[in-house]
Chains A and B, each alone.
Chain A
Amino acid sequence: MSSAQALTGYILRLGDNALILGQRMLELVAAHPELEEELANANFALDYIGQARLFYTYAAEREGAGRSEDDMAYLRAEQEFRNLLLVEQPNGHFGDTIVRQVLFDAYYLLLLGALALCSDERLAEIAARAEKEVRYHLRHSSQWLVRLGDGTEESHRKVQRSLDDLWRYTGEMFAADELDDTLRMSFDGPDLETMASQWLTNITAIVDEATLTLPQQTGMARGGKQGIHTEHLGYLIAEMQYLRRAYPGVTW
């Protein structure tokens, strides 16, 4: 694979993370525990879908096969999606959602900061635009984790369980594969090892403030980046793509 092709694949993967997480958040519209969270969630989901569109449009242009952003989102099969396993995990209860968001937001903010400095101008631009938005996301999710962890006995217990259950999906974020290596070596992209330790420092600070315990588990789930997903993605994709596939050529 050429480095140009690797970059295209990398950008497509960024689009997949944004789209799948955006789709998960959209499932919560009109289903959140209170009004402020409804607004927050809807606004954040918009940011993610917007970012997905920017990434997909760029990847489609680079690919040069005549595909559009919609084709990327609606006409690819499950194993063609290269999102992290973390973002496809179900919303569960509010604590599960918040923990998933914190773990991903802390990573995504560091990633975008690094990509804003990479040598591909367009990727750097999209990353710089997105980074400003994701700062608000992390602020929101981390503040909630503190409230839930340092909350009642019930909220503390539930969110500790969420953290313990989702921890196994965090390793994949920093496990560099061929695309990550190409970004780093050919496009001044991030060093995932350095990022992993920065992420752990930041997460530890939030977890400590939330009076929670950092999971010690080291066994990590992998596969999302290679298109091998948990059982959850199939259902998400089916719901997301149904309308487009059932009515080819449909427009508003």
Chain B
Amino acid sequence: MVSIMELGIVRDVQCGDGVVVSLSPTYSGCPATEAIEANVIAALEDRGVADVTIKRVLSPPWTTDWISDAGREKLQKYGIAPPERGGSKQALLHGQRCIPCPQCDSENTEVVSEFGSTACKASYRCKDCLEPFEYFKCI
């Protein structure tokens, strides 16, 4: 699966007496934020780090442009079409997209709903292989 490093959510790690991990929320209301923070703390505690602090960093605001190439590939393999690159402003304002199907690569796809199972994804359908898929929206 995609890691929070690959999603660009981890902004910084400072090791001193304790460890301070700086994370950025993706959307203001992302329900996974607390789960991610809890998992980071648990992962470090499992490795013997007793003193873990999470810092929430809002600035500059997280953008899908920070998702790494490896992250994009993993999203695709998982069946989620990765966000267009550098298209944040364009996508937000004009909404013109051509999203290839993550299953069969066809560009003959259409948007079913701008809003999918989570705040960050839209629902799409491939008109060639007929599979539905989700698209990770640019922000």
Contacts and interface: CB of A to CB of B under 8 A. Distances in A.
A46 interface: yes
A248 to B, nearest CB: 23
A48 interface: yes
Contact of B27 (A36, A47, A128, A135): A47
Interface string A42-82: 11011111110110000000000000000000000000000
B128 interface: no
Contacts of B25: 50, 129
Interface stretch (A118-126, A172-180, A189-197): A118-126
Nearest to A51: B28
Contacts of B27: 46-47, 50, 133
A40 B115 contact: yes
A140 interface: yes
B92 A36 contact: no
Contacts of B116: 39
Interface on chain A toward B: helix, strand, loop, or mixed SS?
A: helix
B113 A124 contact: no
Interface stretch (B10-18, B58-66, B67-75, B77-85): B58-66
Given A36-B115, A39-B115, A124 B59 contact: yes
A136 interface: yes
Task: State which size class the interface on A falls in.
Answer: 20 to 34
A46 B63 CA distance: 18
Interface residues of B, number: 27
B58 A136 contact: no
Interface in A91-116: none
Contacts of A47: 27-29, 119
Nearest to B120: A43
Contact of A36 (B59, B114, B119): B114
A129 B114 contact: no
A250 interface: no
A129 B58 contact: yes
Nearest to A130: B28
Contacts of A53: 28-29
B1 interface: no
Given A124-B59, A130-B28, A46 B115 contact: no
A94 B82 CA distance: 33
B48 to A, nearest CB: 29
Interface in A144-176: none
Nearest to B93: A135
